[in-house]
Amino acid sequence: MKIYTKTGDDGTTGLQGNSRVSKSHPRIIAYGIIDEANAGLGIALSHKLDKDISTLLNLIQNELFVVGADLSNPNLNDQKNRVTTDMINNLEKNIDNYEKELPPLTNFILPGGNIVASQLHYVRTVIRRAETCLVLLSEQEKINNDCIKYVNRLSDLFFVLGRVLNKRSGQKDIIWKV
């Protein structure tokens, strides 16, 4: 199988179901940003991590492929490779579990700390951008709304995981000072 097909040379790309759209279509931008976030997780995973964190990030990488597949299929009657409430519930369960390791927030914190925590804070911002594109897309076309919920919870999880990684490495939260 060749990596290039030349079918996109006209500025279009194929969706599931063989329809073609502009590469500037909000759907393509949204799942492109999801792919960007996934690549950012690959960078985080290239570092030595506690097993619980690496296992979770590997799961999320796979789930981000599901998000991309979901977005690439405008036929909502086709239930293959769709974001589910179980995926969202799992993110919420992980947020709740990891928050137990952390002191409550009393201030805004700045993204940063150790290299992997900083990388997860960066990925969180990429996911927030994806969420914005998903909302824009949902205002123009019907999509699986669980995609929006999933990326919203995912950004929350990355915020919490960034704090957890810093705490586990002895790095304090960086307090925003006005």
Write down the CATH superfamily of domain 23-175: Cobalamin adenosyltransferase-like (1.20.1200.10)
Q: For residues 66 and 90, give the distance between their C-alpha atoms in angstroms, rounded to a whole number.
A: 15
Q: Which residue has the higher pLDDT, 2 or 83?
A: 83
Domains of the chain, residue spans? 23-175
Mean pLDDT of 174-178: 90
pLDDT tens digits for 99-137? 999 999 999 999 999 999 999 999 999 999 999 999 999
pLDDT digits (tens, 9 = 90+) for 9-45: 888 777 788 788 778 899 999 999 999 999 999 999 9
Cβ atoms within 10 Å of 158's Cβ, excluding its own: 29
Of the candidates 49, 61, 80, 90, which has an alpha carbon nearest to the alpha carbon of residue 144?
80
